Structure 1
Amino acid sequence: MKLTGFPEGTALGGVGFSLAGDGPTGFSEGQITDLDRFLPALALACYRIAALRVATDMLAVYTGSRTSGRILNGQTRRGDGTAIYAAILLADLKDFTSLNERYAPDRIVTWLNQHFEVIGQPVEQAGGEILKFMGDSLLAIFPAEIDNPTDGCERALSAARMAMDANDALNWKRVDAGEPAIPIDIVLHVGEVFYGNVGCTRRLDFTAIGKAVNEAARMEKLCDNVGRNLLASAMFVSRVQADFEKLGSFALKGVAKPADVYGLQR
């Protein structure tokens, strides 16, 4: 149905419909009476459709489209979830704590949103899902096949490269405006994660946890030590076609075995 008569830019919410008859004299009095009886029930059904659409869209904004679908399908109990294999992308804004000491909160929030926007767009374009914003960090996953995770890893690497480039471009603009640059560190890993509900009885969080997520978080702490902004695990590097170089084996806090860590060749 084509809507006419509304000013340009008008936002319409809800469900609209129209009724028409093919008789030469329009609706009869009996038909109008029947419609008056019928319309309240139809309006109630339309309201339910519109309310569900709004709820679905809003939930997807806060949790991601894949996660919101699981929640709406009934995965709402603590512990609900499943083990999945996924490429992991963890991005962290550098020196953000010190910026909080020097700038007003409203400016900090504006900068934070700008960086999350340029990092998040490549993630979503590459088929990933942002699971969590943790202060100045972002956690995203790219579901992959356990027997052949190459596609998920390639998409994660592509998103990481685009995010780094977009963040650099944003920083150039900010420096030109006399504001501080905010670099990012990104870690790429792959492995099994638990994807589901954790939390307390009345407050749940749908997220990804597990050994692989913990290892990615520990690897991020190495970025300053090795002077690189993008690091990857040996398992991740083995699944992608890219020029990585081994930077060394490092002990990760809470992880039994040292981890081989790689960076893109310069």
Structure 2
Amino acid sequence: MKIIAMIPARYSASRFPGKLMKNLHGKTVIVRTYESAVNTQLFDEVYVVTDSDIIYKEVEVAGGKVLMSKKEHDCGSDRIAEAVEDLDVDIVVNVQGDEPFIDAVSLEKLIDVFKKDTQKEIDLASLKVQITNQEDIKNPNNVKVITDQNDFAVYFSRSVIPYQRDQDVEVKYYKHKGVYAFRKSALLDFYNTPMTPLEAAEKIEAIRYLEVGKKIKMIETTVESIGIDTPEDLENAIKYLDNV
């Protein structure tokens, strides 16, 4: 089973333009992310896939493997799918380009899902983390996920799910972390399927997989990643490295 990591990397970002090229203790964010993925030793190959000449040259100069997107894409899955279409791989892990502090333990759990799936019944694996703060639960920027009793995703939403109608019933809420492991076939099916209605309504790409019948195994993690979405996040990441 050949397992690779793909790091989708766009230069533009609405909240923090050019964030992947910002300096993080002497290296850019994207180079730190690439090196962190390689250092996990979980993957046969690690690639950055980008639409930016600037990012392409940055990764290339750092000695990394980088691919240039040939088309415009609306989401990371599409960008990765184009890149892997002609590659001989079995499992593709999507590593977020703006998360340089990679949680190797959680990634290994995602990969183990496929190693144990001898019948090849699982199409994707992804991560969820329990949230208890009401502000986090109600925040539409936090995508929530509900699962069945076997931890397969039932639905993802920006709304509060499940709705706790009976206050005497204990309810747990889980945030979806946008880290995926795909079978290559499922990723290409996604790529060749137009955006689905619920996906369009919620703006959550994971919903498209559910709408076309794919099975998504959710793995619970307790690790909250340090993503870099704002200048403040970058400052916090710098402080974190100052103390490591």
Pick the structure with greater CA Rg. 1
Please say whether Structure 1 and Structure 2 have the same fold, judged by a TM-score greater than 0.5.
no
TM-score, structure 1 length as denominator? 0.27
